[in-house]
Structure 1
Amino acid sequence: MNIRLMMAVLAAKFASFISRRFGWKGSSLPGVVARKIYPGTLRDLAGQARRGIIMVTGTNGKTTTNNMIANVIEAGGFRVVINQEGANLITGVTAAFIKHADWLGRMRFDYALLEVDEASFPRVVKEVKPQFVVVNNFFRDQLDRYGELDKTVQLVRDALKTLPDVHLVLNTDDPLVAQLQTTTGHPASFFGLAPHQRPDNGARQTREARFCPRCGKELHYDTYQYSQLGSYACEDCGFQRPTPEVEAALVETAGTALRCQVRYPAGQVQLAIHTQGFYNLYNALAAFTVGYLVGIEPRRILKGLLRYKPAIGRMETFRYNGKPAVLNLVKNPTGYNEGIATLLNIPGTKNVFMAVNDNDADGRDISWLWDVDFEYLADNHRDIEVFVCSGLRGEEMALRLKYAGVPLEKITVVRELAAAIKEVLEGPGESTYLYSTYTALWPTQKILSGLAVKEDLHAEGLSSLS
């Protein structure tokens, strides 16, 4: 029996208790305490997995993808450990194991499902050896923390090269992700969307990867999904979009749900998820691919995905005075552009809330807001009644909207978060859409939960999707 591990777990659980007692979020605090007492805590706890470790990394969609995978794995009858709340630094990953361990540091689980921050990925894989690694996408994000995009890709690629035996699950539509098979030498399974699934073709969005990751020549695209995701090929060296094992087509929106036909090696099925946002199909396809690879029956995979409920701020839906309100985390230009596209697809008039903070977790540099296509939003402002800007940098958000061309009479700045949320919810629009950066998200969700009712989308049923 490892006495240091026991002491670390005991101290961490006590820290977690105190944190909850005083109402602190503290999702990473137990990991911080445990690692101070015994640096081998994560390695020892993760080593108790009976079947393996599955990691998710990349820029956007880590929390959603990881939670979808958890639903799929549990639908297959397995027990899981998961950092469900999105605490994805090494301390948060450690805390997830501590939460599920007993006071002696003993655990009983089949799979650990871990979303891991890109910059923390090299540290985590030094202590935890995954069986599968899912990479969803690479986008420019928090330049003051990560640096340029090629540095982020290199961090993940170099860390993958150190792993002796791992199977990659890669988004075939992102050339920055797809290249990881050849650059690491690991076996890979690809997932993606069939061409021409999106009517607007993502034509206005910023492209993060114009050039071939292999030879540096400009990539040729036949079609885009969004940002640099699409059907690409390098006419110089032959690098091109790999043929996916799992591919979605015939994408439809059905109220607050999405559905599509999924082709995979053993046949074809209809997949449905209770969430909005075109990008969430990629998250669902990644989860489907993992489920298929670990041997779960397709009908159980689909059942698990159908049970998925959005995590905090991931297209989370509320109802205020009979009107829907959707909360969405935004943290980089690509994610914000997709959030705008989702907003404009919602029928009827809307109220819009935009909270921007510049704390360490958000990134101090908010210049990325000028790369978001707010001009597209301004061009389609007629169905938007009000824009309420808040947070530490609410004034800068309002200024960005002004320069995008949003009429000044529609823009309001309310620094106090609770007052701003109350004002936007009571706006004249038929629905409300709330955008929030990281450190504003939890306070926004807490205030919203006190004012509105969390909507259970599953209560509506999905009979039309089955």
Structure 2
Amino acid sequence: MSLKSSLAMMVGKTSYFVLRNILHRGGTSLPGKLAVRIDPDVMTNLAEKYDVIVITGTNGKTLTTTLAARVLREKFGTIITNPSGSNMIQGITGTMLTAKAPKKGARPVAVLEVDEANVEEIARQLKPKAFVLTNIFRDQMDRFGEIYTTYDKILKGIRLVPDATVIANADSPIFMRGDLPNPKIYYGFNHLPADGDMRAPINTDGILSPTDHSILHYHFITYANQGYYFSKTDQFARPELDYAVTKLNQLTPTFSNFDIDGQTFQIEIGGMYNIYNALAAYTVGRFMGVDAVQIKKALESNAQIFGRQEAITVDDKEVTIVLIKNPVGTNQVIDMMKTDSEPFSLLTLLNANYADGIDTSWIWDADFESLHQTDVRKVAVGGQRYRDINVRLKMAEFEDIAIYEDIKQITKAIKAMPTKRVYIAATYTAMLQLRAQLAQAGYIKNRLGE
């Protein structure tokens, strides 16, 4: 180990100690940032000590990472991970540097959520054992551009480690692009007969065949561009699945019950999109040798997930915090709300910081109009870009929208809602601000949701 690397590790660990034990603050981003500034390659010294699993994609990274870590703990014990979603190079560096040193001869597992634009650098330094690909949707176009640009960033990282296994969501046709020598494992949905012939809705991204760029057809669609696709102009089709959701038993706002390869599982979180995340975690577990009984136990834990459908009680209100950041994810959140049989209120918080994406035009492609199919009784808006989301909801024909210009008013706003059940749909930094406010008021006790 070079003197520069030794100094970087010492500074990172010392700053982490000060933050946690003296200043009583959480987070690994600052220690990682300091370490990377001293030695950008500081993590290369850790590469031989860990089996690293990288989880990346547009939506579902945080939940998939959390569930996969729970699954792997059933066999491996302590798992190194970044549950708060600090998924860029400085956050991951901090996570690795501040992890408890492995016992002599032990080879611990690190399950890391990685921002799509950071996959190449993480792969170069940590040489992952596997890459888990969740999906690619239009997201933060100011950072990533179109979906194919995003996928190219991921491919650059995968190609650096040709022996690593690619664990891909085969229902997403974009992952069939790129000539990769890596071993591959595919997961997806087989819950409906493969006898339909339909096209994706207008304005759906990522529905072109990678072989001849014709528009794909589907036997069935789960949501957006995902499903059992095939081409009518050549032999291209979704590959055979190694692990599959074979039945949807019950979907509610608070839990999802489904079968994977004939065995029933339940996760204490709503939405079909979260079943994909659970299936990805199941696939990671099987890849790492965890048996189905152990996986079932891990998935059915009801521990809260940081900022992802966190259920919080605020006086007499049942509050659910959901993250939104792009049209597809927002539409899935709305679909989850449609399964709620009780009346509810909705508060939407829109920020436009770097971590959110500074371009908020995506709200015009989200189907807020379909909220009229729910029993929503009150709609309110807040966040830095409250004016934007207020106009969008007005155009969706909502009236009497409550406006909260100051994020510090949100606890008061929750208490003012006319219904017992309240959903808060927030972009990432707005969610962090909200959690800090609720924690200060004593409504949130945990720091990381894990």
2:12, 2:31 within 8 Å by CA — same for their partners in 1?
yes
2:57, 2:135 within 8 Å by CA — same for their partners in 1?
yes
Offset at 1:232?
Answer: 0.7
Q: Structure 1, residues 293-328: CA drift from partner, whole Å, max 9, x if none?
A: 111121111111122634221111112334321001
1:80, 1:109 within 8 Å by CA — same for their partners in 2?
no
In the alignment, what sits opposite 2:5? 5
Question: Are 1:294 and 2:288 matched, yes or no?
Answer: yes
| Alignment of structure 1 residues 35-434 onto 2, 5 Å | 35-49=36-50, 52-101=51-100, 109-177=107-175, 179-180=176-177, 183-196=179-192, 206-251=203-248, 252-253=250-251, 256-263=254-261, 268-307=262-301, 309-377=303-371, 379-380=372-373, 383-407=375-399, 409=400, 411-434=401-424
For residues 420 and 318 of structure 1, the distance between their equivalents in structure 2, rounded to whole angstroms, comes to 14
1:195, 1:223 within 8 Å by CA — same for their partners in 2?
no
Aligned partner of 2:341: which letter? P
Aligned partner of 1:438: which letter? Y
Offset at 1:255?
Answer: 7.0
Aligned partner of 1:437: which letter? T
* More deviation, 243-252/421-430: 421-430
Structure 2: 5+ residue stretches without partners: none
* More deviation, 290-299/136-145: 290-299
For residues 118 and 245 of structure 1, the distance between their equivalents in structure 2, rounded to whole angstroms, comes to 25
For residues 397 and 259 of structure 2, the distance between their equivalents in structure 1, rounded to whole angstroms, comes to 39
Matched residue SS, 1:358: coil
Q: Structure 1, residues 76-124: CA drift from partner, whole Å, max 9, x if none?
A: 134321112111111111111112145x999965211111111111111
Offset at 1:25?
Answer: 5.5
Question: Are 1:442 and 2:432 matched, yes or no?
Answer: yes
Offset at 1:166?
Answer: 1.1
In the alignment, what sits opposite 1:464? none
For residues 156 and 317 of structure 2, the distance between their equivalents in structure 1, rounded to whole angstroms, comes to 48
Matched residue SS, 1:351: strand
Matched residue SS, 1:119: helix
Matched residue SS, 1:112: strand
Matched residue SS, 1:47: helix
Structure 1: 5+ residue stretches without partners: 457-466
Matched residue SS, 2:353: coil
For residues 55 and 425 of structure 1, the distance between their equivalents in structure 2, rounded to whole angstroms, comes to 40
2:11, 2:35 within 8 Å by CA — same for their partners in 1?
yes
* More deviation, 280-289/4-13: 4-13
For residues 160 and 190 of structure 2, the distance between their equivalents in structure 1, rounded to whole angstroms, comes to 33
1:357, 1:440 within 8 Å by CA — same for their partners in 2?
yes
Offset at 1:394?
Answer: 0.4
Aligned partner of 1:212: which letter? S
Offset at 1:202?
Answer: 12
Q: Structure 1, residues 123-147: CA drift from partner, whole Å, max 9, x if none?
A: 1111111111100100000001111
* More deviation, 8-17/349-358: 8-17
Matched residue SS, 2:163: coil
In the alignment, what sits opposite 1:459? none
Q: So what's the TM-score if we normalise by structure 1?
A: 0.88
Matched residue SS, 2:341: coil
2:199, 2:218 within 8 Å by CA — same for their partners in 1?
no
Offset at 1:7?
Answer: 2.5
Identity over aligned pairs, percent: 29
Offset at 1:203?
Answer: 7.6
Offset at 1:27?
Answer: 3.1
Aligned partner of 2:66: which letter? N
For residues 205 and 195 of structure 1, the distance between their equivalents in structure 2, rounded to whole angstroms, comes to 24
Offset at 1:425?
Answer: 3.4
Aligned residues: 440
2:311, 2:318 within 8 Å by CA — same for their partners in 1?
yes
Matched residue SS, 2:258: strand
For residues 26 and 205 of structure 1, the distance between their equivalents in structure 2, rounded to whole angstroms, comes to 42
Aligned partner of 1:389: which letter? V
Change (3 A) 1:328 1:314: same
Offset at 1:454?
Answer: 5.4
1:206, 1:227 within 8 Å by CA — same for their partners in 2?
no
Change (3 A) 1:26 1:300: closer
For residues 448 and 254 of structure 1, the distance between their equivalents in structure 2, rounded to whole angstroms, comes to 25
In the alignment, what sits opposite 1:463? none
2:168, 2:185 within 8 Å by CA — same for their partners in 1?
yes
For residues 229 and 54 of structure 1, the distance between their equivalents in structure 2, rounded to whole angstroms, comes to 24
RMSD: 2.6
* More deviation, 76-85/392-401: 76-85
Matched residue SS, 2:98: helix
For residues 395 and 273 of structure 1, the distance between their equivalents in structure 2, rounded to whole angstroms, comes to 36
Question: Are 1:16 and 2:6 matched, yes or no?
Answer: no
2:169, 2:186 within 8 Å by CA — same for their partners in 1?
yes
